Amino acid sequence: MSVGKREVLSLYKALLRESQKFSSYNYREYALRRVRDGFKAGRNLTEAEDQHRELQIAKESLAVIKRQVVIGQLYRSPNLIIEK
């Protein structure tokens, strides 16, 4: 069974939204770049098994990003020059 386009798009948007919440510029940009690159790389997957595996990895990544955002907010560092 193929992965639904709506589910993939929803997960992609959730990952981008959560990545935007990083307080650190470097972490934020890194996470956004990794999300975009990961979904571009998975765009051409045709096997249902591969699609499901990558979807599961993306869901686990979303959980990690959510935890890291909370930790980052607890231990904030001063803003970088580029952020001002």
3-class SS of residue 21: coil
Task: Give the pLDDT confidence score for residue 2 in this predicted structure.
Answer: 61
Q: Is 54:42 a contact under the CB 8 Å cutoff?
A: yes
Residue 84 confidence class, pLDDT cut points 50, 70, 90: low
Residue 27 and residue 68: Cα distance in Å, rounded? 10
pLDDT digits (tens, 9 = 90+) for 19-78: 999 988 889 999 999 999 999 998 888 888 989 999 999 999 999 999 999 998 888 777
Q: How far apart are CA 26 and CA 19, in angstroms?
A: 11
What is the per-residue pLDDT across 72-83, written as a single tens digit (0 to 9) for each?
Answer: 888 877 777 777
Cα distance between residue 27 and residue 52, in whole Å? 27
